[in-house]
Amino acid sequence: MLGKRLFDYLYEQLEHCPQDHAFGHKVNGQWRYYSTQETVRLVNQASLGLLRLGLQPGDKVATVVYQTTPAWVVLDFAMAQTGILNVPMYPTISAREYEYILRESESKYCIVGENDLYEKVRAAQANLPGLNEIFAFGEHPRARSWETLLADGDFSEVERLKAGIRPGDVMTLVYTSGTTGNPKGVMLTHDNIIFNIEALRQLIPFRPGDRILSFLPVSHVFERVAVYAYTAFGGSVAFTGTENLGGETGDLRAIRPHYFTTVPRLLEKVYDKIVAKGIELRGIKRALFFWALHLTGRWYFDYTPSGLAALKWKIADRLIFSKWREALGGCVKTIITGASACPLRIMRTFNAAGIPVREGYGMTEVAPALSFNSMKPGGAMLGTVGPLLDGVKVRIEPSPDYGPGEGEILAQSPGVMAGYYKQPEKTAEVMRRIDGQNWLATGDVGAWVDGPGGRRYLKITDRKKELLKTSQGKYVAPAPLESALKEHYLVEQAMIVGDDLKFVSALIVPAAEGLRDWCLRHQIEWTGVAAALQRPEVQRRYEMLLERINPHFGKFEQIKKFKLLPDLWEPVKADGSDAELTPTLKLKRRVILKKFQHDIDAMYR
| CATH superfamily entry for domain 265-465 | ANL, N-terminal domain (3.40.50.12780)
**180: pLDDT confidence band, cut at 50, 70 and 90?**
low
Of 291, 267, 463, nearest to 347 by C-alpha is 267
CA distance 362 to 526: 42
User: What is the CATH code for 8-165+204-262?
Assistant: 3.40.50.12780
Which residue spans of the chain are classified as CATH 3.40.50.12780?
Answer: 8-165+204-262, 265-465
**572: pLDDT confidence band, cut at 50, 70 and 90?**
confident
Report which of residues 557 and 49 the model is more confident about.
49
Q: Which residues lie below 8 Å from residue 491, measured CB to CB, with a gap of 6+? A: 485, 508, 509, 510, 511, 514, 545
pLDDT at 333 over 90: yes
pLDDT at 530 over 60: yes
Question: Tens digits of per-residue pLDDT, 359-383?
Answer: 999 999 999 999 999 999 999 999 9
What pLDDT, on the 0 to 100 scale, is given for residue 405? 92
What pLDDT, on the 0 to 100 scale, is given for residue 365? 97
**586: pLDDT confidence band, cut at 50, 70 and 90?**
confident
CA distance 43 to 32: 17
Question: Tens digits of per-residue pLDDT, 415-471?
Answer: 999 999 999 999 999 999 999 999 999 999 999 999 988 899 999 988 777 778 787
Question: Tens digits of per-residue pLDDT, 5-16?
Answer: 999 999 999 999
Question: Tens digits of per-residue pLDDT, 489-511?
Answer: 899 999 999 988 889 999 999 99
**Burial (0-12, 13-18, 19+ Cβ within 10 Å), 487:** middle
Furthest-apart CA atoms within the chain: distance in Å: 75
Q: Which residues lie below 8 Å from residue 586, measured CB to CB, with a gap of 6+? A: 177, 179, 340
Q: Are 525 and 519 in contact (CB under 8 A)?
A: yes
Question: Tens digits of per-residue pLDDT, 378-397?
Answer: 999 999 999 999 999 999 99
Q: Beginning with the edge strand found earlier in the chain, give each strand of the sheet holding 107-112 in spatial order.
A: 144-145, 133-136, 107-112, 60-64, 85-88, 170-175, 185-189, 419-420
Of 550, 569, 544, 443, nearest to 504 by C-alpha is 550
> What is the rounded end-to-end Cα distance, in angstroms, of the chain?
59
**2: pLDDT confidence band, cut at 50, 70 and 90?**
low
CA distance 554 to 573: 37
Of 605, 581, 580, 574, nearest to 594 by C-alpha is 580
What pLDDT, on the 0 to 100 scale, is given for residue 505? 96
- The conformational region for residue 179 under phi > 0 = left, psi -120 to 50 = alpha, else beta, is alpha
Question: Tens digits of per-residue pLDDT, 188-214?
Answer: 999 999 999 999 999 999 999 999 999
Report which of residues 269 and 333 the model is more confident about.
333
Mean pLDDT score across all residues of the chain: 93
pLDDT at 1 over 50: no
Percent of the chain scoring above 70 in pLDDT: 99
Q: Which helix (DSSP H) or strand (DSSP E) does residue 271 occupy?
A: helix 264-280
Q: Beginning with the edge strand found earlier in the chain, give each strand of the sheet holding 357-362 in spatial order.
A: 30-34, 23-27, 236-239, 211-214, 259-262, 334-337, 357-362, 369-372
CA distance 184 to 174: 8
pLDDT at 84 over 90: yes
Which residue spans of the chain are classified as CATH 3.30.300.30?
Answer: 468-604
Mean pLDDT of 566-583: 85
Q: Is the dihedral of CA 127, 129, 130, 133 positive or negative?
A: positive
- Say which CATH architecture domain 468-604 belongs to: 2-Layer Sandwich (3.30)
Q: Are 392 and 360 in contact (CB under 8 A)?
A: no
Query: What is the model's pTM?
Result: 0.86
Mean pLDDT of 31-55: 98
Q: Are 369 and 354 in contact (CB under 8 A)?
A: no
